[in-house]
Amino acid sequence: MPEPAAKASRWPLKELAFVWGGNVLSKVMMFAATVYLANRLEVEGFGIFSTAFAVVNYISLALFTGLDTLVTRESAGLCPENAWAFSGKLFGFRRKLVNLAVVATALFAFFLGKGSREMGFTLLLFGLSFLFQQIYAVNLFYGLEWPGPIACYFVGGRIIYLALLFIFVKAPGDLFWAAGAFTFAIAAENLFLFFCLFFRYRKRRDDSLDVPEIKLKPALLLTGLTALLLLHENAPQFLVYLLKGDGEAGLYASSFRLIYTAVTFANLGGFVFLARFTKQARESEEKARVSYGKARYCALALGICLALAGYFSAGLVYDILFKSSYQEGANVLRAGVFQMALVPTRVLAWQYCLVRGKAGKLAAPLLIGVLLSVGITSYLILQNGAVGAARGLFCGEAVICALMLLGAR
């Protein structure tokens, strides 16, 4: 008989550092890709690219993050003998969501393509990446605590993406090549993880063992709540494009990508913490609470330091990284940089709520917070364009972070 899965976490410090290192390196490379694209595609082309990416990214995260969070939590108790069977259920569930994602992308491409044929085709090229997300397994690997493939997934896909950009994207007219490079990289990294899973676990399967179910109701709840959170994060990019055009959208995107990269450093290994909180809660609620408190204060402190550094160096950052046409982006960065102190704290509070089974109680206050965020952002965009979008996102983040902290008490 196979031994039951260990209750205590198996993550050694060096393996945890390996995952974090891969995650950080991947974000650095994505940041390099962003700067490269911004300077090659120019402000208008980068605005189209970034808005199309935001649409597809929103669809992907809104549909799949709830499921991925549930998978991390459920797979934390898997033993090797039923990992392959569980992956089959996971891929079947994801296939249904991929169908929805493809339809949603096509509808957005039709709607936005009326005003810009480039936007429509760029969206369709991004949307092809969904075909390969049927076999996305990163969160299963988090639960199984197999760090090597996670780090390789993060780094390998970004290396492929950067290489394709350097080869094929040279001028503003290469917008479609940029979108195609992203889709190809997504395909490569997901196929890599699938084969890792196949060769390690398929022959070890034991069909006599019970396999955890991926329950529809909690997955749908998490999907709905995640969609609300992501609407708050992505609405400024949509709104600034629709209300002010692709130039302002490009300025906002340059700032947002800088902030997003820095937030990653302040919120390293989010799903690692989710798996850790889950295991600790099964042993002791007090142990999980103490771990959450330490992680939250560390993330807040790091976020404040990064925000202060970003605020005072915004002009220098733009002088070094971007062409002169992006210089107004420094003011956009200053307007929104302090959300770096809030996002990691909000993410950890959200994960702690999930572990304690309190996610459902956040639905109503979260809906109110997101509506306030979108309303404030829309008003400020009409007043100040990209700068208003950054200010609106910060105001909305403050409201939602406060709600999350209250919910996690």
Tokens for 207, please give them: 């069909």
Q: Note whether 96 and 256 are within 8 A (CB).
A: no
104-133, pLDDT tens digit by residue?
999 999 888 877 889 999 999 999 999 999
pLDDT at res. 13: 52
Is residue 380 within 8 A of residue 392, CB to CB? The reply is: yes
As a whole number of angstroms, the distance between CA 371 and CA 394 comes to 14
DSSP code, position 76: T
Q: Which amino acid is at 72?
A: T
Locate 281 and state its tokens: 């809660």
With 70 as the cut, is the pLDDT of residue 216 above it? Answer: no
pLDDT of residue 401: 83
Q: Is the pLDDT of residue 227 over 90?
A: no
Tell me if 332 sits within 8 A of 254, measured CB to CB.
yes
CA distances from 320 to 39, 199, 316, 325 (A): 12, 45, 6, 13
Kindly state the tokens that stand for 15.
Answer: 């393996």
The pLDDT tens digits of the residues spanning 252-291 come to 988 888 887 767 665 554 545 555 555 655 566 666 676 6
CA dist., res. 376 & res. 389, Å (int): 9
Token pair 């993406």 is found at 161
C-alpha torsion angle, residues 133, 139, 145, 149 (rounded to 10): 30
Q: Provide CB contacts within 8 A for 132, sequence distance 6+.
A: 186, 187, 190, 191
CA 94 to chain centre: 17
Q: Is 323 helix (H, G, I), strand (E, B) or coil?
A: coil
Give percent of the chain with pLDDT exceeding 70.
83
Q: How far apart, in whole angstroms, are the C-alpha atoms of residue 162 and residue 190?
A: 17
Contacts of 233 (CB under 8 A, 6+ apart): 393
Answer whether residue 6 shows pLDDT above 50. no
pLDDT at 12 over 70: no
Q: Is the pLDDT at 22 greater than 60, yes or no?
A: yes
Residue 14 CA to residue 315 CA, distance in Å, equals 37
